[in-house]
Chain A
Amino acid sequence: MSINAAPPAWAEAILRAVLTRANVETVSGDLLEEYREAVYPSRGPAAADRWYVMQVAGFAIRSVGVWGALFGLSFLSRTALDWFVPTSDFANRSVFSSTVGIALLLLAGFWSAWRSGSVAAGTLAGTLAATLGAAISLTGAASMLVLVHDPQTMRAIDASGGLPEVFTLPLMLVLPGLVLGTVGGVLGAMARRIPAH
């Protein structure tokens, strides 16, 4: 047993941010106990830290997976619409898809902060949801491109901003995810403090 061994403090901070209030003490205690009693003695410090980080990543993905999937799928739907139902007027589509994206990231931050009581949880949720959404969107767009790349589709892609935009725009949304997650987090933490009647 390695009673003084400590996992990375930043990973523990993330864990505390993604857990519900009711589970913070018990689950972080379970994880610390497993780290100290089983993983650290058998695998050593570096591997034990990696194990801990992977466990925390699992909790983080579980906590924002739905928001990330919704964000990624909404982004991918917009891409598919532009490719397969071309238009020359992108304004309405942009307003709609931007509103949906902003709402999803705000809600991810709000929901995470509301369940944990921490604004940082909202920041983390918005950032992770945008990152996960970007991964889903990029993978989906690449898959669509492999399957469908006839001249008509390629013309529609060019008309809607071209391939560089398809493969860079999702990544550029991580920073807005951080900001919107924080805003949602502030609102969620405030809502948490409103007494229930």
Chain B
Amino acid sequence: MAEILGGFEQAVLLAILRLGDGAYGRAVLSEVQSRLGRTVAVGAVQATLDRLERKGLVASRLGTGTPVRAGRARRFYRLKPEAVRALNQARATVDALWQGFQFPLKGHL
């Protein structure tokens, strides 16, 4: 059975998927903030990336730094097949929950 994902974990995984080869910490942060439409703490994204890596859903490799980050290395992330399975299951679950309802909801209250 695929890993059950929280909402923020899904946001981070989908950001990595969208960014492709450019998915490093700060880029993931910007993508998540842009998609969620709110500011997000750097530590929240980092803690989620660490957790997803511990769960075996993402893999990382070190890349070179840039002058703006004082030459400090970047850590690039990529999805593993387990993450794709988990994302598909999360989407299927949401779709099943919404079956029979029109979006946006009207007149159900």
Which residues does A use to contact B, with CB under 8 Å? 1, 3, 23, 25-34, 36-38, 54-55, 58-59, 62
Residues of B within 8 A of A30 (CB): 24-26, 29, 42, 46, 69, 74
Q: Is the CB of A62 within 8 A of B43?
A: yes
Distance between Cα atoms of A186 and B66 in the complex (Å)? 34
Q: How many residues of B contact A (CB 8 A)?
A: 23
16 extra interface residue pairs, beta carbon distance < 8 Å, beyond A27-B46, A32-B69: A26-B75, A29-B25, A29-B65, A29-B70, A30-B25, A30-B26, A30-B42, A30-B46, A33-B66, A34-B42, A37-B68, A38-B30, A54-B41, A55-B42, A58-B41, A59-B46
Proximity bits, B7-32, A CB within 8 Å = 1, else 0? 00000000000000000111001100
A62 to B50: give the CA distance in the assembly, Å: 13
Measured between beta carbons, the chain B residues less than 8 angstroms from A31 are 42
Contact yes or no, A25 B46, CB < 8 A: no
- Map CB proximity to A onto B69-95 as digits: 1 under 8 Å, 0 otherwise: 110111100000000000000000000
